[in-house]
């Protein structure tokens, strides 16, 4: 004789569970949960303008944290170029296009790979005056500054270069990005270097 899993639940819990299900089905309390939650910006998805790639990305939300991890140290320049192109794509058709892009890195990364080139940015059609470049001493400082920038809503998007990213810090960062509608892109240290 097979038993329904609910048969083993004590009677008091069964009654409470049934009452909760009835409330959910009736929509009771729907307004109170929404009122207590912070407002969430309507999601838009990343689009690179290439249908095959856009389909492969499966409509990734723009207001989120997206990480790119190069396979090796040789791939860092290509990954940086891709992030810059993605940043420009995100900014192009957005209501925040008049806001600057924040690009944060670690000082150690500047010594390893150098900084973005002003001449190279101009060649790509980027106005260096619309880009805020900053360097921090530690990964934690980069992540903190990205979170603060996302929460402030003063930048079109924020890009950070970090070797490692703490789970709690990236969770806070993802929440700030989603709540404020600010895309955040992370360039992580290459796999071969980690």
Do residue 15 and residue 66 come from a single domain? no
Do residue 135 and residue 174 come from a single domain? yes
What is the Cα–Cα distance from 62 to 180, expressed in whole angstroms?
A: 11
Residues in the chain predicted with pLDDT less than 50, given as ranges, are: 1-10, 30, 32-36, 40-42
In a domain, 46, yes or no: no
Please state the domain count of the chain: 2
Find out whether 96 and 156 touch, Cβ atoms under 8 Å: yes
Residue ranges making up the domain that contains 12: 5-36
State the CB neighbour count (10 A cutoff) for residue 135: 17
pTM across the whole model: 0.70
CATH of the domain at 77: 3.40.50.300
Do residue 111 and residue 66 come from a single domain? yes
Of the candidates 87, 95, 83, the one whose C-alpha atom is nearest the C-alpha of residue 42 is: 95
In a domain, 70, yes or no: yes
Do residue 172 and residue 117 come from a single domain? yes
Do residue 15 and residue 92 come from a single domain? no
What pLDDT score was predicted for residue 166?
Answer: 87
Find out whether 157 and 133 touch, Cβ atoms under 8 Å: no
In a domain, 143, yes or no: yes
Do residue 16 and residue 59 come from a single domain? no
Do residue 31 and residue 55 come from a single domain? no
pLDDT in tens, 67-116: 999 998 889 888 888 888 888 777 765 667 788 889 998 877 666 666 77
Of the candidates 171, 164, 115, 130, the one whose C-alpha atom is nearest the C-alpha of residue 147 is: 171
What pLDDT score was predicted for residue 41?
Answer: 45
């Amino acid at each position: 004789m097979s038993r329904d899993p609910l048969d083993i639940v004590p009677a008091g819990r069964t009654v409470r569970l049934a009452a909760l299900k009835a409330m959910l089905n009736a929509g009771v309390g729907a307004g109170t949960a929404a009122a207590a939650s912070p407002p969430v910006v309507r999601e838009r998805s990343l689009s690179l303008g290439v249908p095959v790639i856009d389909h492969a990305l499966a409509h990734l939300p723009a207001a989120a944290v997206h990480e790119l991890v190069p396979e090796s140290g040789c791939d860092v320049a290509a990954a940086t170029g891709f992030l810059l192109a993605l940043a420009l794509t995100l900014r192009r058709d957005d209501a925040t296009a008049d806001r600057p892009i924040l690009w944060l890195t670690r000082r150690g990364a500047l010594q390893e790979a150098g900084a973005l080139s002003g001449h190279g940015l101009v060649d790509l059609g980027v106005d260096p005056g619309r880009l805020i470049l900053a360097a921090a001493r530690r990964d934690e400082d980069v992540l903190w500054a990205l979170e603060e920038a996302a929460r402030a809503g003063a930048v079109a998007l924020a890009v950070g270069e970090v070797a490692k990213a703490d789970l709690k810090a990236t969770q806070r960062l993802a929440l700030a990005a989603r709540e404020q509608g600010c895309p955040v892109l992370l360039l992580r240290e290459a796999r071969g270097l980690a």
